[in-house]
Structure 1
Amino acid sequence: MSLEAKLSGWTGPSSDTEQSKQDRTERMIRQAIASHEPFNNCSLKIYAKGSYANNTNVRSDSDVDIAVECAEALYWDESEKGNRTSGEPYEGVWTPAKLKIELISAMEAKFPGQVDSTGSTAIQINSSSARIDADVVPCFSYQYYMKSETRDGTKIFKTDGSSIVNYPAQQIENGTAKNNRTGYAYKKELAY
């Protein structure tokens, strides 16, 4: 097989078998969270993000990134003081440490012996023959206030105390727009 053919195969969409394993992994993570009692009264948004969600993953060599966004707390920043006109800081029980601890507990109950929680950002779920590796990313709702608009995103707290802000919905929108603009040259057979 030529190098060009090999590279082309890697950049193609997931095979049906790979897609099935990706979907199964995401479904099992959702089940783990749904059956974990401490999350019964917590507003969570659970969704795929990154290369799997954007269909830009490398065939046979990628994992599934699943964001678990706690919407109980809203973190925000302002481009200039006064752009956000209302709201008080969150003072509830859902801290970054508590969210991560509860997610680890939920994952360990569903995937015994397959959870690696030593990473600085995500909780890794190691694969089995029926699933692929997954990174479960605990995060919180986030908004960035500018004079005339607000951007919605997520805030991820790392174990060293630092944080990362990203915009997964914007990433998908931009990827779709770029693919449409380039006549699907950005990512062959991109499906949303």
Structure 2
Amino acid sequence: MKSTAVFLALVLSLSGCLSEEKAYGNAAGYGRSYHSPVEIVIPSNAPSITQQFRRIEDNEHYGLDVHAPIGTPVLAAAGGEVIKSYWGPAYGNQIEILHPADSSGKTSRTRYVHLEDRVAGVGDQVKRGEQIGTLGITGFLSSGFPHLHFETLYRGTSIVHSADDPNLYWVDGEGQITCYDPRKHDYLSTDKFVLIYPVPCK
């Protein structure tokens, strides 16, 4: 019991340090074991990425983690239909969006995990940049650390076979994290699967 309390205190203290010193404009590295790291350019006003996508046997992380305060709006990274909106013990509140087929004829999905609240429900048609929920710490795999775990399932449905690094699909190009701007991003063609950052930039 004592060790659990110490662990939680450590996590909360790390969260506090990150909130004050590195809350914006920072992106965690991929680590030496990642086979194809992406060079990241993150705007100084974008909430920081604390963990990158990785596909390593026995140490997978099928998305990226964005750190921001609890209650921060979570945005649809691309338009589509909400096909899942539910709570589960491991990942807490989560939403999955099915996006229209691109020029390949295949659909892709995005998944938003550890939400505090879900605003969008199954069957809702959402636009790119529309709020679908709020960032939280729900589910025991959140480790008590406020963040959005954001996944991209590119041209498929399987987390094991279709999960891909979201950093490959930003609107402004590979590795170019793109903050949502309705003046530029509301009218994007769906011929190519592209994403905006799933939380607002300040």
Q: TM-score range by the shorter chain?
A: under 0.3
How does the TM-score come out when normalised to structure 1?
0.26
Give the structure with higher Rg (CA): 1
Taking structure 2 as the reference length, what is the TM-score of the superposition? 0.25
